[in-house]
């Protein structure tokens, strides 16, 4: 009967449809498998360019403006799912911390049961997705260098735009009251200078890394030019925490090189720059430190958010409120209604409680420790990558004290992806397992052979 049934038109058509659907699904899977790594690398590398379109919107959902940043974030979340399915390897420590943070955030969202909490959860997932796409981005040693090269090139665009702003060819997005007058702050056409600062503190170590490992004269000149222009753009942002973070990155790079001459040149150059710009820097930092509201209002805002978190009781202390929001009467500021604590660690604490903050600190800590092992026990290119990641984490921590780098649209994608990759490939014990080659170009293979 079964064979006879196959001869009828109905079953034959059904079998044909099923076979066609199966082939389509298989071909679709193969296409996704082939395209996903390229798309993920593109999203990470061109993030500085994507964020330039922050002002072009086409709707709103759950209180979130829809724009190119939203599309990129949703695409990265989808690619993270593909990466977890496509590369079923054991979970490393940064991935475990990210999974735990997602779990805590989901529980906090359920407890809160508000659309604001759901939107905040999606924003968090958009940042943490970078942790998991590292599984499909870094499939060969050359992909690592290509990603950093493209990221530096992408960051060069807002750097040039920032210089054009300072030269008067483009208008400033932000202005600040300094010394009795409004002063424009270069932002590279981003909404706020912190966006440019965050990309620079990742691109500058990237350029230093490329300068150390690549031999082409033209490329090396381009990296030196980027470092000079990037440093100038960083100064023009007048972002206080950004200036501190940038100085730490530059000086830290040469300090970790353990080469006395380079260390002396770096420290001498920084000292000379401080002397030349002393009056401007003194006025810039004095305006914040001498403010009656501490750091231009941040002190009272921090106090208000901490008070709100303490009022949440045991459940709020552990899991947070699901969304950072406070309404309070603040001395010298008046009535405060804010969703921005101006401190990333405080924002995570208020939103996801002690549990969420612990997971976030574990994520950053595991990336830092794994990278530091490469600095101490690696050689050649592997040690340089470890050095770059350590310094970027340090810069992000400094910026997190007065800003919110992890907050949507997070500019930390490259750090989270690269840091997770290093943690999965670096030494896992105190033994030196990194000796593959002493030459920088040959040691690119080291990150893949170190176990």
How does pLDDT run across 152-183, given as a tens digit for each residue?
999 999 999 999 999 999 999 888 766 666 78
Mean pLDDT over residues 392-401, rounded?
A: 96
Which pair of tokens denotes residue 54? 């922050």
- Please name which of 274, 304, 296 lies closest in space to residue 403, comparing C-alpha atoms: 296
Per-residue pLDDT band for 410 (boundaries 50, 70, 90) equals: confident
Strand (E) positions, 198-316? Answer: none
How far apart CA 352 and CA 105 sit, in angstroms, is: 6
How far apart CA 404 and CA 345 sit, in angstroms, is: 8
Residue with tokens 């612990």: 358
pLDDT beyond 60 at 110: yes
How far apart CA 205 and CA 387 sit, in angstroms, is: 8
Continuous segment of H or E residues that includes residue 212: helix 193-213
Specify whether the CB–CB gap between 353 and 317 falls below 8 A: yes
Specify whether the CB–CB gap between 45 and 147 falls below 8 A: yes
pLDDT of residue 438: 35
395 three-class SS: helix
Q: How far is CA 136 from the centre of its chain?
A: 18
Per-residue pLDDT band for 451 (boundaries 50, 70, 90) equals: very low
State whether the Cα torsion 73-205-258-378 is positive or negative: positive
pLDDT beyond 90 at 13: no
Query: Before 409, cis peptide (omega within 30)?
Result: yes
Mean pLDDT over residues 405-413, rounded?
A: 90
Mean pLDDT of the chain: 83
How far apart CA 424 and CA 79 sit, in angstroms, is: 19
Q: How far is CA 197 from the centre of its chain?
A: 12
Specify whether the CB–CB gap between 394 and 252 falls below 8 A: yes
Which pair of tokens denotes residue 221? 């000149």
Could you state, in order of their start, the residue ranges of all structural domains in the chain? 2-449
pLDDT beyond 90 at 295: no
pTM of the prediction? Answer: 0.83
* Highest averaged pLDDT of the listed ranges 5-19, 57-71, 125-139, 253-267: 125-139
Classify each residue of 313-343 as buried b or exposed e, where b means 16 or more C-beta atoms within 10 Å of its C-beta.
eeebebbbbbbbbbebebeeeeeeebeebbb
Which pair of tokens denotes residue 388? 């770059």
How far apart CA 34 and CA 70 sit, in angstroms, is: 24
Using CA atoms in the order 110, 113, 115, 119, what is the torsion angle rounded to 10 degrees?
-20
């Amino acid at each position: 009967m079964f064979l006879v049934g196959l001869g009828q038109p109905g079953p034959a058509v059904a079998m044909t449809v099923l076979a066609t659907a199966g082939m389509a699904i298989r071909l679709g899977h193969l296409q996704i498998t082939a395209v996903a790594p390229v798309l993920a690398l593109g999203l990470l590398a061109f993030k500085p360019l994507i964020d330039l379109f922050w002002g072009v919107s086409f709707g709103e959902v759950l209180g979130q403006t829809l724009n190119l940043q939203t599309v990129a974030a949703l695409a990265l979340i989808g690619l993270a799912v593909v990466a977890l399915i496509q590369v079923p390897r054991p979970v490393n420590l940064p991935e475990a911390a990210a999974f735990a943070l997602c779990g805590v955030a989901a529980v906090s969202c359920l407890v809160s049961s508000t659309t604001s909490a759901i939107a905040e959860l999606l924003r968090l997932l958009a940042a943490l997705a970078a942790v998991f796409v590292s599984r499909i981005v870094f499939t060969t040693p050359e992909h690592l260098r290509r990603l950093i090269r493209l990221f530096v090139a992408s960051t060069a665009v807002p750097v040039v735009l920032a210089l054009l702003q300072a030269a008067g060819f483009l208008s400033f997005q932000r202005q600040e009251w300094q010394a009795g007058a409004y002063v424009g702050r270069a932002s590279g056409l981003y909404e706020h200078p912190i966006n440019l600062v965050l990309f620079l503190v990742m691109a500058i170590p990237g350029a230093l890394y490329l300068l150390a490992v690549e031999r082409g004269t033209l490329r090396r000149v381009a990296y030196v030019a980027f470092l000079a222009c990037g440093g100038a753009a960083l100064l023009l942002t007048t972002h206080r925490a950004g200036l501190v973070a940038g100085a730490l990155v530059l000086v830290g790079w040469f300090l970790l090189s353990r080469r006395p001459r380079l260390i002396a040149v770096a420290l001498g150059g920084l000292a000379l720059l401080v002397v030349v710009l002393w009056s401007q820097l003194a006025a810039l930092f004095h305006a914040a430190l001498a403010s009656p509201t501490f750091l231009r209002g941040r002190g009272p805002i921090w106090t208000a958010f901490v008070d709100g978190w303490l009022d949440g009781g045991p459940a709020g202390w552990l899991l947070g409120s699901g969304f950072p929001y406070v309404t309070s009467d603040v001395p010298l500021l008046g009535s405060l209604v804010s969703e921005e604590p101006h401190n990333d660690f405080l924002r995570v604490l208020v939103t996801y409680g002690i549990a969420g903050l612990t997971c976030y600190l574990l994520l950053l800590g595991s990336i830092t420790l794994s990278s530091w092992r490469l600095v101490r026990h690696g050689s050649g290119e592997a040690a340089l990558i470890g050095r770059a990641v350590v310094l970027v984490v340090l810069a992000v921590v400094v910026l997190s004290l007065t800003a919110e780098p992890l907050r949507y649209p997070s500019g930390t994608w490259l750090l989270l992806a690269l840091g997770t990759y290093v943690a999965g490939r670096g030494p896992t014990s105190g033994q030196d397992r990194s000796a593959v080659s002493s030459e920088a170009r040959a040691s690119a293979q080291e990150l893949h052979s170190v176990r």
